[in-house]
Chains A and B, each alone.
Chain A
Amino acid sequence: MLNVFQMIGAWALGILREMGSMFIFLVNTVLWMFRPPLKLGRVMRQVSFIGSKSVPLIVLTGGFTGMILGLQIYYTLQKFGAEGYLGPAVALSLIRELGPVLSALMITGRAGSAIAAEIGIMRITEQVDALESMSLSPFRYLMVPSLAASVISFPLLASIFNVVGIYGGYMVGVKLLGLSSGTYFSGIQDFVQMEDIRDGIIKSLCFGVIVMWISTYQGYFTRHGAEGVSRATTTAVVMSSTLVLVWDYFLNSLMI
């Protein structure tokens, strides 16, 4: 019986230790971000990897998300004779929620996993130790550029997702289902406020920090060779995705 309590206690202490380690890691990364010189070249390289190279994926998923929303919301609104609200319904769903969340999940799968793997491989091949041996901080060279790049890229990618999604909804609602184009867009103009766009951007920024924080953390603390890299990559994706959804709920409860 005592063994069961010991096991539960050890597990709980392990979780607390991990949370503390992750928090310290985030604080160190943020502190190094404000210590010059900022490696702008590396930041731009990461913006290209996390941002520009994710655009095709974001366009594809945004477009189809908008089209699905167009179909489903039209079907629902039709029951109330309110098809005219299709435009604002699609736009608000995307801008406030689906744009930031789905784009964050897509980028997690693509860039978050890659960054966790890259840093993990650097760790097991002693490249991180090589940086340390040259008195160069791995935070400055690996973590800060990724975090800075995701703070820049996530809101921009979410915005692209939203725009493409709104046009996806337009294609379905107007071209396919016969809603008037003026009704679709004027509804968006009437009902979408700056606060909605602001809330969406704040969510994207938070998700960018969460995804890169967890991905770089998992990569940095990789152990045990190839299996460790695999585990770090999987954990990075699963933990980031889960935390994005959990944090989304808390943000919504504050914003609405």
Chain B
Amino acid sequence: MTMIEVSDLHKSFDGQEVLTGVNFTVEKGDVFAVIGGSGQGKSVLLKHLLGLIKPTSGHVYIEGEDISALSGPALYKLRDRFGYLFQGGALFDSMSIFDNVAFPLREKTKLKPAEVKTRVDEELDKVGLTGFGHKYPAEVSGGMKKRAAFARVLVMRPEIVLFDEPTTGLDPILVDSVHRLILWGQKTYGFTAVIVSHEIPKIFDVAGRVGMLDKGVMVEVGTTGEIRNSGNPVIRRFVHGAGENLNGENSILNAAGRA
């Protein structure tokens, strides 16, 4: 069953086109990765899925409902099905880790304080943050912030989780931890996931299907195997890490004069 369908999505900012006709679908329960170079519009695309940004043209359907056409209470109702893990975590600075994770429960449910505490303690334990609830975001590391933000997402048991570069800025060990956490969360709660990531090739161990965004379009969508073995030169360059210097030579070794 198709959970997310992006249809001919275009987006411009002040005349500059960022997305120029994106098309792809995500099936229910899938883990779909969006890969691509920096500045290709991956985060912009992700925000369209939640209706945080409205397209210049095109549509985003969530189980057949066009989220890009919604506003007000109807949009908020559809958003209740989502969780969004922002690149920097987006924890509220003025609240402790505990209060951050408790925030959606307190605001959107009728749980009693004791029940909220139990749920939050459980989620913090699952992400390995037991004992850190009293700390503030400024007092913890980047990896801990991401885990706290993930706990805040999971505490509401969303059907769809969007991850905006969940491992950016983390060391390789933490990258593995976050990926394992995503896989564990997806297996435990069964959500549909869309992950924007630079982590090649590690993201292929997490995702079931991958789409490569380049110059505002999805150049190819397929399984991780299909993308890894793609004959498309843009994808091959990105996946196998061949760089370009500024005047377009194909090999960074050429540019360094060491080929």
* A interface residues, Cβ below 8 angstroms from B: 121-122, 125-127, 129-130, 132-137
Per-residue A-contact encoding for B59-102, CB less than 8 Å = 1, 0 else? 00000000000000000110110111011101111000000000
Min CB distance B139 to A, Å, is 16
Q: How far is the CB of A17 from chain B (nearest CB, A)?
A: 13
**Whole-angstrom distance between the alpha carbons of A137 and B73 in the complex?**
10
Give chain B residues whose Cβ lies under 8 Å from the Cβ of A125.
Answer: 88, 90, 93
Q: Which of B's residues lie within 8 Å of A, judged by CB?
A: 47, 50, 52, 76-77, 79-80, 82-84, 86-88, 90-93, 103-104, 107-108, 156
Chain B residue, CB-CB nearest to A133 = B84
A136 & B107 in contact (Cβ 8 Å cutoff) = yes
B150 smallest CB distance to A (angstroms):
13
Are the C-beta atoms of B86 and A134 separated by less than 8 Å?
no
Q: Is the CB of A130 within 8 A of B108?
A: no
Report B200 CB to chain A, min CB distance, Å.
Answer: 24
Q: A135-B77, A135-B79, A135-B80 are in contact. Are A130 and B107 (CB under 8 A)?
A: no
Residue numbers in B under 8 Å from A126 (CB-CB): 86-88, 90
Return B116 CB to nearest CB of chain A, in Å: 15
Complex alpha-carbon distance, A135 and B83, angstroms: 10
B8 to chain A, nearest CB (A): 24
Judge whether A127 and B104 touch: CB under 8 Å.
no
Q: Do residues B90 and A134 form an inter-chain contact, with CB atoms below 8 A?
A: no
Q: Are B86 and A132 in contact (CB under 8 A)?
A: no
* Residues in chain B near residue A137, CB distance under 8 A: 76
Nearest chain A CB to B89's CB is how many angstroms away?
Answer: 9
| CB contact under 8 A between A135 and B76, given known A126-B87, A129-B52, A130-B84 | yes
B104:A129 contact, CB within 8 angstroms:
no
Contacts of B84 in A (CB 8 A): 129-130, 133
**Minimum Cβ distance to chain A for residue B4 (Å):** 15
B87 contacts A134, C-beta separation under 8 Å: no
Q: A135 near B88 (CB under 8 angstroms)? A: no
- The residue of chain A having its C-beta at the shortest distance from the C-beta of B162 within the complex is A133
B79 and A133 contacting across the interface, CB-CB below 8 Å: yes
